[in-house]
A and B are shown apart, each in its own frame.
Chain A
Amino acid sequence: MGRMSKTLLAMIVDIVRWEEKILLKAAEIMGLNLSLVNLRSRFISLTEPPGNAKVYLIRAVSRTTAVTSALVIESFGAVTINSPRALQATGDKAAMIALLASRGVPVPRSYLALGKETALMAAEALGFPVVLKPVSGGWGMLSAKAGSPEELEQLLELKEAIPSPTSRLHVIQEYIEAGGSDYRVLVVGGEAVAAMKRSAVRGWKANVSRGALVEPISPRGEIEELAVRASEALGAEVAGVDIIDGDGDMRVLEVNGVPEFRGLREATGVPVERYILSYARENARR
């Protein structure tokens, strides 16, 4: 077919991590034409279609880059996975919690507060301990548990000293005791394809990037139902859903719109990358 052949799939990145490499390798094995578009080394047009792919997997580490590139690509009629709206919703913890709650998905009680004094008032309304979170950011960074007003005040002062437009915007959330464990479920196209239990080695944050111990679990039952509902509530076709079990009371902590999945892949052996590519291929055929 030469120059006339249509590239079906493309992947937008800003760096290439383990996940993007395994997606490239899997595409090769599956006979898919997946082109890599690295925005750090290649510019894309804003005035004509940026490429000839029908479906673009958005895998940028930067949330801003992910949302902006998806908006640009979608403007010219191509499909992005995830959609710009899903990326926006999953990239902002405050908006994400509100969207989930408004759609009936159980989440921890949470408040949005601007500035230290207001954040302290929100924490008093919740009752200590509370969790302080930034509106954006992953890997558990800048999230902290405060057991008292004094602790929270210190944390707020540190966070607000960071030169960032969002450093004074705080999510204050009730702390749910779950023994330092939570669940990560990967949802692809409305199906929970793999799940694991993550247990913090120390402290309460169970992020894989923090060395959490992981064990595979069945992505079925209540966990599946909750993960699928959460991803659908945000319109996220590929989503990493974090769920906490507070003594039988399951709630969604976060939905990740560009999920890393190395830990999940290694814990479960489920070929997550193939599910993602198969789903993208089905979308390209529509």
Chain B
Amino acid sequence: MWPGETVCILGRSGSGKSTFLRSLNFLEDPTDGVVEIDGVVVAADPFHKEGKERQARIQELRLRAGMVFQEFNLFPHLSVIENCVEAPVHVKGMDRKEAEVIAEKYLAKVGLSEKRDEYPSRLSGGQRQRVAIARALTMQPKVLLFDEPTSALDPTLVGEVLKVMADLAHEGRTMIVVTHEMDFAHEAADRVYYMDQGEFAEVGPPEQVIDAPKDPRTKEFLSRFRTLGSKK
């Protein structure tokens, strides 16, 4: 993918979407293949032959690929601002004041400046996920990876997270989003990949893959959304 793009990965549960996404930053160990992000190349190592040098490159890769998880994964004992600056300070070695300035910028972007000193337990699910997005942005990654970021949310809270993500997409952040949110994919994605049984069954712009799918597996999956009264 190119810088400035938003790519959505669709598919039924168990199709391999999250496994693929997590393989991109080696949270899952792929059996085969090569990942390159911003010039850092890491290949699969199924027999664990490689040592520290590969681990160092995986760390470099992860610095370039920020991850937003379904379950937020915030540190409950740290405030919002502390959650945001933890990784920049301890992983990137950034000065704490500098990290706070960057974190405050991104907390403002996700609309949570006034929550900087709150603890996650005092936030709604939507607010927690927006903090998780601000935390990922504070690392200033080249690519943001979203793993079903709204799936754990109360339906009334999904919109506020999708709006933040859509804003990021429209300002040219490079994002890969695993999602079931068809309207978001249709509106924000440059390209959509439909995944089935661990393979990409169909690739194309959302107007093709979502509105006029060619692959029978994509058609069958999307017909369920239409049956349930979704817009697309």
- Please indicate whether A and B come from the same complex rather than being unrelated chains: no
Interface residues in chain B, defined as those with a beta carbon under 8 Å from any beta carbon in chain A: none
Interface residues in chain A, defined as those with a beta carbon under 8 Å from any beta carbon in chain B: none
